[in-house]
């Protein structure tokens, strides 16, 4: 890539689009930002440069934007802030690649149609990931677009890690464990050896703890097991998602409590997790600041489940050399990290209390010098991973 060429990265959710622009062969961050409150409320656009200075702020008080209108505005904004750069491609974060897409993929109408068939596997995420792709295809048909899948990093997991104990005819229809947050884990797997070369061969459990939360067992840089399964509702309790659940509960809710499938879906995805248990909020900061015992109970349950999954993933790895925290909670909540590490003392985890409590932004080690398991904080950077994949696909080595 030439110094004046740039890649736009899009990470679109149901009501927001995060965007960033990376330039030149080194993929330097040029600007980034977020469009929030799509479809309802007052849509808000905010962008900042690499030094975190605001370079754009706009609101739409009359009517909210949809994905297509937001993408059109973003293109217009990018055009006037490119400063001599040319956008050569757009990379998109896409939650699900199904069984067919195991790596970054150039997107065209045919691929888009195949991805649309996967919507039932990720009904709350995939339609929103695909909406900007469709909008960009209409606005700039000649600009290459690349899809990067959250499932891709997990594709090489051993067969038993990918299987449910269901009849083969169901498995054959793609009902299996996929795993998500793969771009975040891939970034972690790539970053750790830069901090400590020995970690390239290590057995690592990484916890991506944000509004969505999962954990992944990484052996010498490769995913071998993860807590999320067929959909992104499995595994840990999250902001509003329940995490692992006895499937009998779903049957009970429908058969005995008379809930509709739509009501069950809404409950499991939007009304459970930290929000459901606390009855207060899905946001960890709010819960940590609350003196309500229900807030404490919600946090305690999350910590407990992280500990249980840590044991399970360590078993999948046959041991543990490093534990990594990432995502909004993992990067920022020193108290949650301390609680998880205290529970994991049996594995040889020993935190350095001062390093854990110190406010820091970058990749950092927070375990004591004598800890058998190294503990790291790695700030999530799925966007850079997407930019890298997009660049590599456009200019193969
Ligand atoms: P998403 O999964 O939507 O990308 P993030 O990774 O940004 O979400 O994580 C959001 C979560 O991180 C929220 O629960 C938020 O409260 C939590 N968080 C952010 N900053 C802090 C902090 N300083 N202390 C505790 N939790 C925090």
What does the angle CA 28 – CA 34 – CA 40 come to, to the nearest 5 degrees?
165
pLDDT digit string, tens, across residues 107-166: 999 999 999 999 988 888 899 999 999 999 999 999 999 999 999 999 999 999 999 999
Reported pTM:
0.94
CA atoms within 13 A of residue 316's CA, in its CB half-sphere: 25
Q: How far is the centre of ligand 1, averaged over its atoms, from the C-alpha of 377 (Å)? A: 14
> Quick one: which H or E segment has residue 220?
none
Burial class (CB in 10 A: 0-12, 13-18, 19+), 262: exposed
Instruction: Indicate the annotated binding residues.
Output: 11, 18, 93, 208-212, 283-285, 328-332, 382
Q: Which of 124, 123, 125, 129 is nearest to 111 (CA)?
A: 129
Residue 250 φ/ψ, nearest 5 degrees:
-65, -45
Atom in ligand 1 nearest the alpha carbon of residue 13 = 3
Quick check: 232 and 180 in contact, CB under 8 A? yes
Sketch out the chain's domains with CATH numbers: 5-149 (3.30.420.40), 194-382 (3.30.420.40)
Question: Is the beta carbon of 227 within 6 A of some atom in ligand 1?
Answer: no
Q: CA–CA separation, 122 vs 237, rounded Å?
A: 18
Q: Which atom of ligand 1 is nearest to the CA of 287?
A: 16
Beta-sheet strand order (sheet of 54-60): 54-60, 43-49, 28-36, 17-23, 5-12, 86-94, 145-149, 105-106
- Verify whether ligand 1 is closer than 6 Å to residue 16 (CB atom): no
**Active-site entry in 150, 234, 246, 292:** 150
pLDDT digit string, tens, across residues 227-282? 999 999 999 999 999 999 999 999 999 999 999 999 999 999 999 999 999 999 99
Helix or strand (DSSP H, E) at 312: helix 293-317
Our answer to whether residue 246 is catalytic in this structure is: no
Return the CA Rg of the chain: 21
């Amino acid at each position: 890539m030439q110094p004046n060429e740039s890649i736009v990265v899009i990470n679109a959710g149901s009501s927001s689009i995060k965007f960033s622009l990376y330039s030149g062969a080194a993929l330097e961050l040029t600007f980034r930002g977020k469009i929030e409150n799509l479809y309802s409320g007052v849509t808000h656009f905010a962008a900042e440069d690499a030094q975190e200075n605001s370079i754009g702020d706009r609101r739409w008080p009359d009517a909210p934007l949809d994905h297509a209108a937001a993408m059109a505005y973003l293109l217009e904004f990018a055009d006037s802030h490119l400063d001599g750069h040319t956008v050569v491609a757009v990379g998109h974060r896409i939650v699900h690649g199904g069984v067919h897409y195991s790596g970054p993929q150039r997107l065209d109408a045919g691929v888009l149609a195949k991805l649309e068939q996967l919507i039932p596997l990720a009904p709350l995420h995939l339609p929103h990931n695909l909406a900007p792709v469709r909008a960009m295809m209409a606005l700039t048909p000649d600009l290459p677009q690349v899809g990067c899948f959250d499932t891709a990093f997990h594709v090489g997991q051993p067969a038993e890690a990918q299987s449910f104990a269901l009849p083969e005819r169901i498995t054959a229809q793609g009902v299996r464990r996929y795993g998500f947050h793969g771009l975040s884990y891939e970034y972690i797997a790539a970053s750790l050896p830069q901090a400590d070369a020995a970690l390239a061969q290590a057995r690592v459990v990484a916890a991506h703890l944000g509004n969505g939360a999962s954990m992944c067992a990484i052996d010498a840089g490769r995913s071998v097991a993860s807590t999320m399964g067929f959909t992104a509702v499995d595994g840990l309790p999250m902001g509003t998602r329940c995490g692992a659940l006895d499937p009998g509960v779903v049957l009970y809710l429908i058969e005995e409590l008379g809930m509709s499938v739509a009501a069950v879906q809404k409950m499991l995805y939007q009304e459970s997790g930290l929000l459901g248990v606390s009855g207060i909020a899905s946001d960890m900061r709010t819960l940590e600041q609350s003196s309500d015992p229900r807030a404490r109970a919600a946090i305690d349950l999350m910590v407990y489940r992280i500990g249980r999954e840590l044991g399970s993933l360590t078993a999948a790895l046959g041991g543990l050399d490093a534990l990594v925290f990432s995502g909004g909670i993992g990067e920022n909540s020193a108290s949650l990290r301390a609680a998880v590490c205290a529970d994991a003392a049996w594995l040889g985890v020993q935190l350095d209390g001062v390093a854990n409590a110190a406010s820091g932004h970058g990749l950092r080690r927070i375990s004591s010098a004598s800890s058998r398991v190294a503990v790291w904080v790695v700030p999530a950077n799925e966007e850079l991973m997407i930019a890298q994949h997009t660049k590599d696909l456009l200019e193969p080595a």
